[in-house]
Structure 1
Amino acid sequence: MKKIKILLLLLTVSVAGFYSCTDNDPVENEVVTSKSISLRTTLNEIKKANNINGKNELSTQDQAFCFNFVFPLNLSYNNGTVVTVSSYEGLIAVLTSETSTFYFEGIQFPFQVQQEGVITTIDDEAEFFALILDCNFPTVNNFVFDFTCYDIVYPISIINANNETVVIETQVELMQYVSTPTGVSTYQLNIVFPISIEQNGLTIVVNDLYEFFEINNDCAGSSCICTADFNPVCVETTNGTVMYSNACFALCDGFTEADFVTCNTTAVETFATTLGDCFTMNYPVQIQHQGALVTVNNDGELLQYYFPNQSDVPAFVYPVTINRTTPTGSFVVTIANQTAFWDVVLSCN
C-alpha cells in the first residue's frame, strides 16, 4: 500500500458560499462541489487512522493508506464554505476541528488519486464509491447490516439509484437495496436524514451523515469489514436470539459457527419466494418499467420485472388483486399500494 501524503492546507477564513481562495489571491473562480457520501467515508477512515476525536488534540501520523490524494483538493463544509487543501498536515488539522455543526460534506470532481504509483482520475461519486469499495472501507451499506449496535426506527426515506426518494418501511426492504448475490453493490445507500435509532433503550435522533458515522465508530461491530449480502445467521445470547445479516458479522462479534442456531426466516421472505405459494396474481397486470407501462400475463413474465435490489415488489400499477392462500382457505384481496403488498409478503409463512 502507498502512504497517504496530503500536502499543505490553505484555509482562508473569510471564504464563504461556493468560492475558494488559494494563498492570498482574491476569489476569481467559482468552485462547484458535490455532496459526497464517499468523501465522508474516506475522511472517517483518515480520522480513525490518526486517532482524531474531533475536538482539540492533533495526532498527525504517517499512516499506510489505500490511496494518495493528488493535491490540491477543493472541499466544502456543510454550510457551503469551500477551502483548498494541499497538505496532509493541513487536512489533519481541519479534520481535528470538525464538529457536528461544521464538517466536510462535499468535494470538487474530478480529482485524482495515486495507487501503487498509478494516477487515476475520479470523475464522479460512482467512481469514488468503487474506489472505497476496493479499499474495504466500512461504508453506510456495511453499517446498516450490523444489527448489534442499534435498531433503525422505520419508516425512513432513501434516495435510490434513479435519484428518486423512496420510503422504506422495514429492515428487510432496506437490505434489498444494497444486497447482491456477490456481496458487492454498485448502489451506495443514500439515507435522507434525520432518522431515529433505538440504542440501549433510548431513542436517538441522527441528524446527518456526520453523526451517523460518529455513532457507528462507537459500535464494537463497526470494525468488521463484511460484505453487504443478506444471508442471516442467528445466535443465542443471554438476552435472547440475535440475528446477524451474515456469518461474517457474527464471527467478527466473537461467535463461532458452533454458536449458530436456526433463524426465523419468516421476516426475510421475498416477493419471488411467496409468489405462487402464499398468493397468486390475478392477471393481466401492468408494470411501470423504464418510463413505460408493460402488461404482463403470467408469473414468468412478471418476474422479469422484479428487481429486488431496487424494490421489494415489482412496480405495479395499482390497484391489483391477488388470491391469498391461508390454512383456512383462499380469498381475493385488493391491494392499493406497494406498502400493502409488502405487508402481504411479510405475513406469508
Structure 2
Amino acid sequence: MKKIKILLLLLTVSVAGFYSCTDNDPVENEVVTSKSISLRTTLNEIKKANNINGKNELSTQDQAFCFNFVFPLNLSYNNGTVVTVSSYEGLIAVLASETSTFYFEGIQFPFQVQQEGVITTIDDEAEFFALILDCNFPTVNNFVFDFTCYDIVYPISIINANNETVVIETQVELMQYVSTPTGVSTYQLNIVFPISIEQNGLTIVVNDLYEFFEINNDCPSSSCICTADYTPVCVQTTTGIVVYSNACFALCDGFTQADFVSCDPILTTNFGNGLGSCFTMNYPVQVQHQGALVTANNNGELLQYYFPSWSSIPALVYPLTVNFSTPTGFIAVTVADQAAFEAAIINNCN
C-alpha cells in the first residue's frame, strides 16, 4: 500500500502551507488502516467548524473542539491511498481538497487524542464511537431519525454488531436496532450503501457515507439531535395519527406540545399479559437487542427483552407466526411487522 507523508512547512503567518510528498518502502513501512464511521463523523464536524465547503456551524478554532488529535495521524482515502498528516493545519488542508470521489474513510488504530490536557489512546472503533458520543457530535444514528429533511426508501441493509448483514424493512425496525431504554446505544449504525432517499418529491441515490453526511449537512434541521429512546408520542395530522418514537422528533418535525394526542389504542397493547394466554409464539424467534440478534426459545427468554416503558412489543424479527386463542381453539396468524402484531393483539386480545 502506498504511504505518502504530508509535511506542513509554515513559512510565515500570512502564507498558507507548503507540502512535500515522499514515497516510503511499501513493505517495511506498511500501514494498516480500518474503515471508520466515527472518523467520517469527526471529519465532518471539523469541516463545519472551519467553514470548509461553506458549512460553518462551530468555532473555527481547533481548541474549541471537544478533543484534539495528537499528530501525526495515518489516514486512508477511499481508493486505499494512505497519508500521514503531521499537523492540524495539514489536516484542514487535505480536508479542503476532498471530493465525492476522493475522501477519507479510514484511520490507523491506535491513535491518541487530547482532552483538557489529558492524553487518551483510542484503540478501536468502539472507543472512537464512545468518544464522539461524549462530544455530542451528530452521528449516523441521529441523522436517520431526523424526519424533517428526507425519507429513507426501504428496505435497506445494515451490518449489525455481530458483523452480519441484515435487511431492514421499516423505520420502526431501524429504530429498534439503535434504541435503548436510556437513549444511549453502543451500537453505531453501519448502513450498506447505496441507499435511496426521497426529498422534495425526488428520489436521490446516496452512494456512500461521504454523500450521506453531505446531504445531512444541507438539512436545515441537521443540528436537531434527539436521543434514540423509545417513549412514543402521537400527533394528529391531516392524513391521520403519526407516531414518533419520542417527543424530540415530533418537535423537530415542527409540531408543538399542543399538537400531541393520545396514542390509545394505537400503542395500548398487552403483550406481557397476553403472551401465553391470548396468544402463543412459534419458537424459536429472534430479537434485535442493542444492535445484535439474539434467539429466544421460550416465553421466559423472550420476556427478558420486553421493555414496556419504551416499546409495546419486543424488537422481534419479522415475519413470524403467532397463535391466537379463539373459542374453538387457536388460529395461526402471520404478522409482517410490529404494527401488524400490535393490530392483531388489539383485535384479538381486548
Same fold (TM over 0.5): yes
Contact conserved, 2:72 with 2:84, CA < 8 A, in 1? yes
- Shift of the alpha carbon at 1:257? 2.1
1-structure distance, mates of 2:6, 2:31: 12
**2:82 corresponding residue in structure 1:** 82
Query: SS where residue 222 of structure 2 aligns?
Result: helix
What pairs up with 1:34-53 in 2 under 5 angstroms? Answer: 34-53=34-53
2-structure distance, mates of 1:276, 1:78: 52
1-structure distance, mates of 2:264, 2:203: 26
What amino acid is the match of 1:21?
K
Q: What are the superposed Cα offsets for residues 27-48 of structure 1, whole Å, 9 maximum, x if unpaired?
A: 1300110000000000111111
**1:312 corresponding residue in structure 2:** 315
Contact conserved, 2:286 with 2:316, CA < 8 A, in 1? no
What amino acid is the match of 2:32?
V
1-structure distance, mates of 2:216, 2:341: 31
What pairs up with 1:123-202 in 2 under 5 angstroms? Answer: 123-202=123-202
TM-score by length of 1: 0.77
What amino acid is the match of 1:151?
D
Judged with a 3 Å threshold, the aligned counterparts in structure 2 of structure 1 residues 237 and 214 are, in CA distance, closer, same or farther, namely farther
Contact conserved, 2:2 with 2:24, CA < 8 A, in 1? no
Query: SS where residue 177 of structure 1 aligns?
Result: helix
What amino acid is the match of 1:62?
Q
**2:260 corresponding residue in structure 1:** 260
Judged with a 3 Å threshold, the aligned counterparts in structure 2 of structure 1 residues 65 and 145 are, in CA distance, closer, same or farther, namely same
What amino acid is the match of 1:27?
N
Query: SS where residue 66 of structure 1 aligns?
Result: coil
**2:113 corresponding residue in structure 1:** 113
1:345 to 324, 328, 341: 341
- Shift of the alpha carbon at 1:130? 0.1
- Shift of the alpha carbon at 1:124? 0.2
The answer to whether structure 1 residue 210 and structure 2 residue 204 are counterparts is: no
Contact conserved, 2:267 with 2:342, CA < 8 A, in 1? yes
Contact conserved, 2:4 with 2:23, CA < 8 A, in 1? no
Q: How much identity, in percent, do the aligned residues show?
A: 76
TM-score by length of 2: 0.77
Contact conserved, 2:40 with 2:105, CA < 8 A, in 1? yes
2-structure distance, mates of 1:302, 1:138: 33
- Shift of the alpha carbon at 1:89? 1.9
What amino acid is the match of 1:173?
E
2-structure distance, mates of 1:164, 1:203: 28
Moved more, 182-191 or 148-157: 148-157
1-structure distance, mates of 2:229, 2:107: 29
Unpaired stretches in structure 2, ≥5 consecutive residues? 8-20, 288-293
Contact conserved, 1:156 with 1:195, CA < 8 A, in 2? yes
Unpaired stretches in structure 1, ≥5 consecutive residues? 1-16
CA RMSD of aligned residues (A): 3.7
1:27 to 10, 24, 27: 24
Contact conserved, 1:122 with 1:128, CA < 8 A, in 2? yes
2-structure distance, mates of 1:176, 1:268: 18
Q: Count residues with an aligned counterpart.
A: 317
The answer to whether structure 1 residue 333 and structure 2 residue 317 are counterparts is: no
